[in-house]
Each structure stands twice: as structure tokens, then as C-alpha cells.
Amino acid sequence: MTGLGATIRRLRLSSDMSLQNLSRKTGLSAPQLSKIENDKVDPSVASLRRIADALGVSMSLLVSSDETSRQIDPVAKGGGFLFRRFTGDGDMVLEQFLHVRRNARMQPQLMTFPPGSTSGMPLTHEGDEFFYVLKGQLLFVYGDDQKHTVSEGESLYFDSSVPHRWENPSRADEAVILLVSCPPTF
């Protein structure tokens, strides 16, 4: 997706808010916010959440595409909206949202897990999810005690209201999944 920085700047200015004021409200430095507004750095999910809260808008409003522009939304290789999410374990998971639209009924994304990484604390949210392992192998932990090893070419469909998380057991290879959430969680 393009235009995140321009969207943040437009919303900030329409709220009659200075960069310094946004900095105070978010706890992010004014130079960091300037880099984000000029698309020089990608904000983390946590930073994007702080910005959205300070501007009084949803995160999806910041990153969503213009729904009236077309009936289909092609995403070029390497495109989408990229997040580097740091887990409580100090691991980094790369999340590439392939489509972000305010009224979407699903949310497809690629998730890349470095060797030995984990998605962090178990997540719960409304709806269902499906994931397909494109590369490597993941240990999927579901509920209190269900563990499933899912390898390249295999998939799982599950109720996402049950606590769930992922682990990459490999110490050498990254794991990549295509994840689809219905409804969108972002």
C-alpha cells in the first residue's frame, strides 16, 4: 500500500495538530514521525496504534486502500503493507498485509518467522483463520494443550477465538505462511 505517510500527515493537519503535539501524544519523537510521514521508515504495529489513537482514528483507516478506486486490488510482488512485529520474547515476525480495506470480509497476509522465533503470547479474536505453510515448518499451539506441527504444503483452519500462537522450531530455516483471517483483525 502506498500513501501511509501522506495519510498520517493529512489526518494530523486536518486535526490542526503540529508534529510536536503528535509527538507528545504518541511518545514518538518528532524526527521519527517526520520519517514516517515521508515514508522513509515503516512504523511498527505499536507505533501505528499510538498514532491512530492520537489522531482518533482506526488503524485500518491509516493503511486501507481507497475502496471506490477499483473492484479488484492487485498487489505486486513485494507489495502490500509491511510490519515488523517484535514479540515479548524479543523475536521479530515479519507481517506483510496483502490487502487492507476498511470493509473487507477477509484479511490475507504473509507471515515470516525467523529460525527459532515465536509469535509471542497467545492471541484470541473474533472469527476464523486459515493458514498454509509456504516454506519451512511451524509448531502451531492451539488452546491449552493442542500442538500441531504443520509443514510446507500443509494447512490448518481454526476458530481464532481460541488462544493460538506459532513457533518456528528450526534453528536454521525461516518459515513462511499465508494467513487469512475472516473477518479482518487489523
Domain boundaries, the chain: 4-63, 81-182
DSSP helix/strand/coil, 128: strand
pLDDT at 73: 67
* pLDDT, greater one: 161 or 93: 161
CA distance 133 to 131: 7
pLDDT at 75: 73
Q: How much is the pTM? A: 0.66
Count of CB atoms situated within 10 Å of the CB of 20: 11
User: For 81-182, which CATH superfamily applies?
Assistant: Jelly Rolls (2.60.120.10)
68: pLDDT strictly greater than 60: no
What average pLDDT score do residues 107-133 get? 90
pLDDT at 83: 67
119: pLDDT strictly greater than 60: yes
The arrangement of secondary structure in 4-63, i.e. its CATH architecture, is Orthogonal Bundle (1.10)
Question: Of the candidates 182, 184, 181, 10, which has an alpha carbon nearest to the alpha carbon of residue 102?
Answer: 184
* pLDDT, greater one: 78 or 2: 78
